[in-house]
Amino acid sequence: MTAHSNYRELFDAAAQRPAARDFLPKLKIAAIEQFEAVGFPTTRDEDWHFTSVSPIAERIFRPVRSTATALTAEDIARFTYGRNDWHLLVFVNGRYEPALSSFAELDVDAQVMTFGEALKEAPELLAERLGTLAPSAHAFTALNTAFMADGVVIRVPKGVVLETPVHIVYVTDSHANGASLHPRTLVIAERGAQLTLVETFATIGGGAYFTNHVAEVVVGENARVDHYKVQREGGDAFHVGTIQATQDRNSIYHAFSFAVGAQLSRTNVYSKLLGEGCEVRLNGLYALEEAQHADHQTFVEHIAPSCSSREVYKGILDGTSHGVFNGKVYVHPEAQKTDGKQTNKALLLSEGARVDSKPQLEIFADDVKCTHGATVGQLDDMALFYMKSRGIGADRSRALLTYAFAAEVLELIELEPLKVALEALLFARFIPPDTV
Amino acid sequence: MLKIDNLIANVGDKQILKGISLSVGAGEVHAIMGPNGSGKSTLAQVIAGHPGYEVTGGSVTFENQDLLEMDAEIRAQAGIFLAFQYPVEIPGVSNAYFLRAAYNELRKARGEEEVDPMEFLDVMTEKLKIVEMTEDMLQRSVNAGFSGGEKKRNEILQMAVLDPKLAILDETDSGLDIDALRIVAEGVNKLKRPDNATIVVTHYQRLLNYIVPDYVHVLAQGRIVRSGGKELALELEERGYDWLLETAGATA
């Protein structure tokens, strides 16, 4: 029996609720069939060349047992960046926990719903949009679609600005050990709408669980979406996440991916620029230690002319960790005046750490400006000397410069409380606590 | 205070300093001048302990201690300060944090109590005036996004805070407009005391109108080819370096 056929059995065992609208079972059945057809990717697959998912494929992760959680608001507060005024949706082991969520009344005409609510209140929206951006041709996306149990739907109508950020916290506890979670996010920013979404993945004793997340983000004409993903899964956990955005004319989509967790993770951030004059920024930072493996893949598809894309990804690798960055930019023949820039830097702190970096530019238009640069290295000797020449010892100088390497990319985060919180997190990680 | 005797230093296989001898006493200001590539900056960095240079001959003592045996941070703790020609940017680390970390390292080395952030702010308020900077400077990341003038002023601010016995200014005047030059020079002059010393490394005489040296040394091809009083700087301004290089060539 092959690994992926286990998922078919699990799928068949989970009876589809007859109350669910028709489109959902259809979508899910199509997805499991797709998944069966494609199976888990292997390192022979170009997009997975440096990342073997066999540790995921060879295990059977079952859906999590539904149990009342013992987690408290204080537990969740560890992951909310000191903000209790954001719209907070908390999922524990994949299940929405209203008692832990603090859902401020929306002061504008927008909808923020769990899947359960959306099925009741806006089924046509789900039917129309769900699964249209993230195709089930990707194995993990198909798996998510087949098994998604809950998630969040956000719709910001035409011209509405949702000032208060929406924060979704996915947290696991010990009940998640050995289980898989397939949360799903659907964001629709209509013409001229604006919103900021933060998605945080964290754990309190979750053990060896597998998060397989998919987010679909529709950025309408003149709309702006700021999307932050913070991956702080447990050290034994597995994480695969795919964000797929589409952008209409003159829209802005900024995504930032922060990753420090999981033994094996893969983060895909994709945007399709469908209309003229779009701006997309895909930035990210990962910090790995011990035997962690993190693979980031970005894909910007310039379909329409006069769009700009900017990418800055940085990695800090210690121990025997392995980082992978694959940044694809595809420029269609019609996408003249494309302005693309991609930078990818990795800092290796140990001899055993390794990074594979693969910028991929495929350009089929002739009037474009596209650049990419990748560097892999150690700390700058001149900078080290600068610190030491001020009397600061070698270890502390290295620590400060490592932190500075990371902080430079955190500067790109426009959501100030999140930036400050992530700076503090990295400061505590890299700067040894002492009397100074 | 500082005694350099027949110092020879290499980068890789290339000999940069070919036997430098120089004595700097307390209360003195020495200017080291010379054309590009003469070894001026190398000398400054070798004294501060840059690991990229290999000292293959000679000796350097500072207050009767063998300086060449010390790591860069130990030299700083002993009272040596180098104002960099190209100050390094450290994004994400605030000036306040960086300066306090350095300040406390030096206090620790002297067996003094470390200061907390509030106490340190009192220290800073006074020092900021020396370089005409405001407190918001402290919250900015070290040199990140600073203009050329701000970077050099920040070097002098660090010097004011760390209060070295021997300060070496490496091309501190390069890239400064006249106002920044004045602020930097006045800062250095305010910090001058009978018990400390300054070495000013510069290509041009301009800075020496503001920081008046007691001695001027001309470096060429890794050697000191001429030493004199402050009038030597004026002569160089008038005649350039070529006549000295010819002399150096003749004696080489």
Q: What pLDDT digit, counting tens, does each position of B7-19 carry?
A: 999 999 999 999 9
Residue B203 is predicted with a pLDDT of: 87
Percentage of chain A exceeding pLDDT 90: 81
Paired with B220 in beta bridges are B223
**ipTM computed for the complex:** 0.94
Instruction: Indicate the residue among A243, A275, A307 that finishes a domain.
Output: A275
Residue A16 is predicted with a pLDDT of: 58
Q: Which amino acid is at A340?
A: G
In a domain, A372, yes or no: no
pLDDT in tens, A285-338: 999 999 999 999 999 999 999 999 999 999 999 999 999 999 999 999 999 999
Question: How far B53 CA sits from the closest chain A CA (Å)?
Answer: 12
Nearest C-alpha in B relative to A405: B91
B32 or A121: which carries more pLDDT confidence?
B32
Domain that holds residue A392: 380-436
C-beta neighbour count of A199 within 10 angstroms: 23
Backbone angles phi, psi at A261, to 5 degrees: -105, -175
Positive or negative: CA dihedral A157, A160, A161, A162? negative
Residue A17 is predicted with a pLDDT of: 56
B2-251 maps to which CATH number?
3.40.50.300
CA-based nearest residue to A199, from A237, A138, A137, A242: A242
Most A-contacting residue of B41, B53, B73, B82 (CB-CB within 10 A), to test interface = B73
Instruction: Indicate the residue among A240, A275, A310 that finishes a domain.
Output: A275
Q: How far is the C-alpha of A3 from the C-alpha of A13, rounded, in Å?
A: 16
Residue A109 is predicted with a pLDDT of: 87
pLDDT in tens, A257-273: 999 999 999 999 999 99
Residue B252 is predicted with a pLDDT of: 42
A241 or B35: which carries more pLDDT confidence?
A241
In a domain, A52, yes or no: yes
Chain B residues in contact with A396 (beta carbon < 8 A): 101
In a domain, A170, yes or no: yes
Residue A229 is predicted with a pLDDT of: 98
- In the block, tokens 């003249």 appear at A336
* Number of Cβ pairs < 8 A linking chain A and chain B: 89
Question: Is residue B106 less than 8 Å (CB to CB) from chain A?
Answer: yes
Give me the mean pLDDT over the A164-193 stretch. Answer: 96
pLDDT grade, residue B36 (50/70/90)?
A: confident
The DSSP 8-state label assigned to residue A414 in this structure reads -
Positive or negative: CA dihedral A116, A117, A123, A128? negative
Tokens found for residue A310 = 């900017």
Task: Please determine, for residue A345, whether its predicted confidence score (pLDDT) is greater than 90.
Answer: yes
**Cβ pair A399, A422 in contact under 8 A:** no
CA angle A14, A241, A429 (to 5 degrees): 125
Question: How far B54 CA sits from the closest chain A CA (Å)?
Answer: 15
Domain boundaries, chain B: 2-251
Whole-angstrom Cα Rg for chain A? 21
Contact A385 B72 (CB under 8 A): yes
Task: Please determine, for residue B249, whether its predicted confidence score (pLDDT) is greater than 80.
Answer: no
Task: Please determine, for residue A4, whether its predicted confidence score (pLDDT) is greater than 70.
Answer: no
In a domain, A387, yes or no: yes
- What residues of A are in the B interface, CB distance below 8 Å? 380-383, 385-394, 396-397, 400-401, 403-404, 406-408, 410-411, 423, 435-436
In a domain, A26, yes or no: yes
Residue B99 is predicted with a pLDDT of: 95
Pairing of strands B65-66, B54-62: antiparallel
Residue A68 is predicted with a pLDDT of: 78
Q: How far is the C-alpha of B70 from the C-alpha of A369, rounded, in Å?
A: 50
Q: How far is the C-alpha of A171 from the C-alpha of A232, rounded, in Å?
A: 10
**Cβ pair B168, B50 in contact under 8 A:** no
Question: b/e per residue, A361-376, with b = 16+ CB within 10 A?
Answer: eebebeebebebebeb
B136 or A5: which carries more pLDDT confidence?
B136
Q: Which amino acid is at A74?
A: E
C-beta neighbour count of B36 within 10 angstroms: 8
Contact A391 B102 (CB under 8 A): yes
Q: Which amino acid is at B227?
A: S
Q: How far apart are the first and last CA of chain A?
A: 59
Pairing of strands B215-220, B223-228: antiparallel
Instruction: Indicate the residue among A275, A292, A323 that finishes a domain.
Output: A275
Contact A381 B52 (CB under 8 A): yes
In a domain, A411, yes or no: yes
Chain B residues in contact with A394 (beta carbon < 8 A): 71, 73
Residue A250 is predicted with a pLDDT of: 98
User: Considering its fold, how many domains does chain A have in total?
Assistant: 2
Question: b/e per residue, A384-412, with b = 16+ CB within 10 A?
Answer: bbbbbbbbbbeebbbbbbbbbbbbbbbbe
Residue A3 is predicted with a pLDDT of: 62
Least trusted range by pLDDT, from A348-357, B192-201, B224-233, B241-250: B241-250
A371 or B236: which carries more pLDDT confidence?
A371
Residue B250 is predicted with a pLDDT of: 47
Task: Please determine, for residue A18, whether its predicted confidence score (pLDDT) is greater than 70.
Answer: no
Residue B25 is predicted with a pLDDT of: 97
In a domain, A169, yes or no: yes
Chain A residues in contact with B85 (beta carbon < 8 A): none
Contact B90 A389 (CB under 8 A): no
pLDDT in tens, B211-238: 999 999 999 999 999 999 999 988 888 8
Task: Please determine, for residue A433, whether its predicted confidence score (pLDDT) is greater than 80.
Answer: no
Q: How far is the C-alpha of A132 from the C-alpha of A244, rounded, in Å?
A: 10
pLDDT grade, residue B251 (50/70/90)?
A: very low
Q: Which amino acid is at B74?
A: I
Give DSSP secondary structure letters for chain B.
-EEEEEEEEEETTEEEEEEEEEEE-TT-EEEEE--TTSSHHHHHHHHHT-TTSEEEEEEEEETTEEGGGS-HHHHHHHTEEEE-SSPPPEEEEEHHHHHHHHHHHHHHHTTPPP--HHHHHHHHHHHHHHTT--THHHHSEETTT--HHHHHHHHHHHHHHH--SEEEEESTTTT--HHHHHHHHHHHHHH--TT-EEEEEESSSGGGGTS--SEEEEEETTEEEEEE-THHHHHHHHH-SHHHHHHHHHH-
pLDDT in tens, A24-35: 888 999 999 999
Least trusted range by pLDDT, from A226-230, B67-71, B202-206: B202-206
Contact A391 B77 (CB under 8 A): yes
Contact A435 B114 (CB under 8 A): yes
Chain B residues in contact with A316 (beta carbon < 8 A): none
**Cβ pair B31, B12 in contact under 8 A:** no
Give me the mean pLDDT over the A352-380 stretch. Answer: 93
Residue A179 is predicted with a pLDDT of: 95
- In the block, tokens 């003159």 appear at A250
B94 or B73: which carries more pLDDT confidence?
B73
Contact B51 A408 (CB under 8 A): no
pLDDT grade, residue B22 (50/70/90)?
A: very high
pLDDT in tens, A120-157: 888 899 999 999 998 888 999 999 999 998 999 999 99
Contact B93 A389 (CB under 8 A): no
CA-based nearest residue to A187, from A197, A177, A200: A197
Nearest C-alpha in B relative to A419: B92
**Cβ pair B167, B159 in contact under 8 A:** yes
Q: Which amino acid is at A272?
A: K
Q: Where are the alpha helices (DSSP H) in A272-415?
A: 381-388, 394-410
Give me the mean pLDDT over the B137-143 stretch. Answer: 92
Nearest C-alpha in B relative to A423: B92
Mean pLDDT, chain A, rounded, equals 93
